[in-house]
Structure 1
Amino acid sequence: MFKWLSLVTGFFYIVLGIVVIVYKFFFTIVEPAVAYPLGALIILYGLFRIYRAILKIKNSNDEE
């Protein structure tokens, strides 16, 4: 269950990163010079979580 939840959380991080880039909002209005790197960092973290979740799902299927 945790593996699938981590996968879904990764997708939410990607959506959050896109929202930060498009609307320049992250709990408060942010400048574009801050919004773009912050959004990119959040998207990269979401991709990392998805990658890690996929690896764990594949490893658990190999063990069975």
Structure 2
Amino acid sequence: MMFNWLSLITGLFYIVLGGVVIYYKFFFTTLEPAIAYAMGGLLILYGIFRIYRAVSKIKDSGNEE
């Protein structure tokens, strides 16, 4: 159960990190704008996927009890 909540927090972290990469165009090194948008978008999509997966697992564990 704790892993699901940790996965939810990690998903939020990825969304924030994606926004930071898009805004500052920096990820360990200065990025070209096209690369920054692509990388930031992928990080945001992955964060949304992690949150969706965590929420669905939390709902499933609630149905089992």
TM-score with structure 1 setting the length:
0.99
Residue deviations 1:5-55 (CA, integer Å, cap 9, x gap)? 000000000000000000001111100010001100000000000000000
Structure 1 gaps, min length 5: none
Match in the other structure for 1:7: 8
Runs of 4+ with >3 A deviation: none
SS in 2 for 1:25: coil
Match in the other structure for 2:59: 58
Identity of aligned residues (%): 72
Residues 35-46 of structure 1: pairs in structure 2 closer than 5 A: 35-46=36-47
Distance 2:34 2:47 in 1: 21
Residues 11-30 of structure 1: pairs in structure 2 closer than 5 A: 11-30=12-31
Number of residues paired by the alignment? Answer: 64
TM-score with structure 2 setting the length:
0.97
